[in-house]
Chains A and B, each alone.
Chain A
């Protein structure tokens, strides 16, 4: 099966967009730092972008997966993230780390998807629902989504419990927890990703932690 995937993967690969020569030399793309890969991408080197994707797709997919809890949607959204990254790379000025910038795009894609999904399911999204000022610290801001039985069996009770608790946080609280505790971003980076002030990040983390602790203690 892996062999088939490898063959299929190579068959669909054509000339790299924007650079028939495959970019300038100077080392294997996989081993280069992000800044160098980004620089090559900005010159149209698709192989450098392919290396960036390979390097970061796991983090992007995990982040999305933990936000939307649907593997197929996460796969599609991760694709959308990298398409947007490729298109926006020429404008990337490296004021922030590439990974932080990529998380920012991921944040936008996920929130756009949630808004669209909300509109499709119940009508217009009330942005007040996402306003931290109207979310009580003890409020149940997101519908509980139980893990599938096969997931619970394979991942263990602890994981199911923690995932269940995370899903009961509001999207903003959940994202703040994931970016800080799982992805290890600094407060400033979280603020950049979520497009808010550091004070807001602190507040979200404060209430998200209390809520998570409360949920896990109960369960």
Chain B
């Protein structure tokens, strides 16, 4: 008989749980070790003492509070799980929203760019503010007022630009629509003196 089998049979023998066949199987071992009978008797007495002093049940301190505290814990853990779950749901929604937002944001940027480009382009009608008959002044800035004054007697052309830093001669392109100068003004007039 191997040790595992012997341990199993002896354990069940202690508990008086052997069948007749198993008891017969164990008999040689008991015959070889007569001290086992005394050990068994001692153990059964010890077990009774053990059961007498170690209770199977022992109410926790404050048993009513035990239940109410448990209920609160369960309720709180349920709530926190709901929060986590909703965060997970929200997180998934947020991620989906981000995916949807990406093309929308791209479209918005493109639109803003186009609008910016359009607004940056000179508004010819607005910038042709005040010109002598037959003359045009184009300004990239709508806030700048311009005026062309032709003085035949003195044979002079006076260009009045208000709202800008002082211009140099290079800032003006006079004649056939040639743009020059830092400010990019174009003055087209039928007569230049």
Binding site for B on A (CB under 8 A): 5-6, 8-10, 12-14, 16-18, 46, 50, 53-54, 57-59, 61-62, 65-66, 71, 74-75, 78-79, 82-83, 86-87, 155-156, 158-159, 162-163, 166, 177-178, 181-184, 199, 202-203, 205-207, 209, 212-213, 216-217
Contacts and interface: CB of A to CB of B under 8 A. Distances in A.
Interface of B: 4, 7-8, 10-12, 14, 39, 42-43, 46-47, 49-75, 77-78
Contact of B72 (A12, A53, A182): A12
Contacts of B69: 12, 79
Contact of A9 (B12, B42, B65): B65
Given A58-B57, A78-B66, A203 B14 contact: no
A16 B10 CA distance: 50
Nearest to A72: B61
B71 A13 contact: yes
Contact of B56 (A13, A163, A184): A184
B115 to A, nearest CB: 55
A50 B51 contact: no
Dominant secondary structure at the A interface:
helix
Contact of A209 (B14, B49, B60, B68): B14
A59 B75 contact: no
Contact of B53 (A46, A159, A213): A159
B59 A58 contact: yes
Given A13-B71, A155-B53, A199-B4, 16 more contacts: A5-B65, A9-B68, A14-B71, A54-B63, A57-B60, A58-B60, A65-B58, A75-B66, A79-B69, A181-B50, A182-B55, A202-B7, A202-B8, A207-B7, A209-B11, A216-B46
B38 to A, nearest CB: 11
A17 B71 CA distance: 8
A202 B12 CA distance: 8
B60 A66 contact: no
A17 B42 CA distance: 51
Contacts, number: 125
Nearest to A159: B53
Contacts of B7: 202-203, 206-207
Contacts of A74: 60
A62 B66 contact: no
Nearest to A180: B15
A181 B47 contact: yes
Given A57-B60, A159-B53, A79 B68 contact: no
A183 B58 CA distance: 12
A59 B57 contact: yes
Contact of B60 (A46, A61, A178): A61
Contacts of A205: 11
A177 B54 CA distance: 11
Contacts of A82: 70
Contacts of A216: 46
